[in-house]
Amino acid sequence: MQKLTRQQKILLAILLLGFAAAKVAALWWWQQQHPAPAAAVHTAACNVRQGCVLSQGSHVQFSPQSSAKSPFDIIISNAPADVAQVSVSFSMRGMDMGFNRYALQKQSDGSWVARQIRLPLCIDNRNDYLADITIGTEHHRLPFGIP
């Protein structure tokens, strides 16, 4: 196998830097197009594992999860019929969790489902997650933890 020449190494470095710059620019552009919800509705007394009712009567429930690394399902039922989009993302207070928005798919019975969701991992070993649920134009922030 041939060794790379100095010029080839420089060219490779320039290409990698250009690729990284393009990714950063694309992420910046995406964030400008999809800003975070301005005012989330905080629902305090809600256990997403047992299911809870949000405003407008929507019901949200997460399937059981044994650890933060285990996938789980989210089901939202009784959402208003005119809702065109439902999504969920996860965060923690004071911690950037990166991009992790999941679009739920509308089912024939009118419910919205996302399967095999994986939480972003926290390197500080915290488990105080927040689920940011968007149902149409309504925003909900639900605190939950992992056993």
Q: What is the pLDDT of residues 112-121, one digit of tens each?
A: 999 999 888 8
What is the predicted pLDDT for the residue at 119?
86
The band of 25, judged by pLDDT with boundaries at 50, 70 and 90, is confident
Closest CA to 80 of 57, 106, 109: 57
For the purposes of burial, counting CB atoms within 10 Å of the CB of 102, is it exposed (0-12), middle (13-18) or buried (19 or more)?
Answer: middle
Averaged pLDDT, 115-135: 86
pLDDT at 8 over 80: yes
Asked whether residue 30 carries a pLDDT value surpassing 60, the answer given is yes
Give the whole-angstrom CA distance, residue 60 versus residue 74: 7
- Of the pLDDT bands very low, low, confident and very high (cuts 50, 70, 90), residue 39 is low
What is the average pLDDT score of the chain?
85
Share of the chain above pLDDT 90, in %: 37
Question: In the prediction, which pLDDT does 87 show?
Answer: 95
